[in-house]
A and B are shown apart, each in its own frame.
Chain A
Amino acid sequence: GAVVSQHPSWVICKSGTSVKIECRSLDFQATTMFWYRQFPKQSLMLMATSNEGSKATYEQGVEKDKFLINHASLTLSTLTVTSAHPEDSSFYICSGLLMASSGYNEQFFGPGTRLTVL
């Protein structure tokens, strides 16, 4: 199956600082990547859809100036949490969309990044 990695796997930062999370598709090209957030014991909530070479599409209620997404290549998307606050502490998960010529497509998830803001 297709592999997606995330870096870092966990990060602790001080309130007011910015944190960058990388999402890479290791063995396929992902024109589209998705960013999700999951609070403890809750479901995954889609934050934004990232398309290579264009602006991300943010879901309602997600501040685009706070959660900066860059999808500069077909294998890399980054999420930067700017001016992080304790309420931003969460599990951030990305997925890459594998689209095959056969028409098959599937989202493959990264292992997640646990962010703790002190």
Chain B
Amino acid sequence: GQSLEQPSEVTAVEGAIVQINCTYQTSGFYGLSWYQQHDGGAPTFLSYNGLDGLEETGRFSSFLSRSDSYGYLLLQELQMKDSASYFCAVRASYSGAGSYQLTFGKGTKLSVIP
């Protein structure tokens, strides 16, 4: 099966940088995704790392090290609207042709304070 570990809560100041780590154990690993979810809303896709290294999308960056089974999400220039839960999710193989399954971590609640 799959298991993921990420911190349950993080607090950071507006304008600062915060890093949310994720470690995983899985079989049939394709890559690591990150999602943002505001209270009462659906998860929104942020990034995907299929290969080792850093992917940058605006203020958000994500990193993967397959050999270490580790990844992180980096949020820069934090804004109040970034207060949300952030989930790492492993993409792993699934019997359906060309498909994959997502297994989500328990989420990290980020609180951005003034």
Contacts and interface: CB of A to CB of B under 8 A. Distances in A.
Interface size class on chain B is 20 to 34
B42 A46 contact: no
Given A46-B103, A49-B101, A32 B43 contact: no
Interface string B82-111: 000001000000111011111111110000
Interface residues of A, number: 23
A97 B99 contact: yes
A108 B45 contact: yes
B102 A107 contact: yes
A8 interface: no
A109 B96 contact: no
A114 B40 CA distance: 9
B41 interface: yes
Interface in A82-100: 93, 95, 97, 99
B96 A43 contact: no
A34 interface: yes
A43 B100 contact: no
A71 to B, nearest CB: 12
Given A93-B43, A109-B43, A46 B102 contact: yes
B101 A46 contact: yes
Contact of A44 (B40, B44, B98, B104): B104
Interface of A: 32, 34, 42-46, 49, 51, 57, 93, 95, 97, 99, 105-112, 114
13 contacts: A32-B99, A34-B102, A42-B107, A44-B43, A44-B87, A46-B101, A49-B94, A49-B96, A51-B96, A93-B42, A93-B43, A105-B99, A109-B44
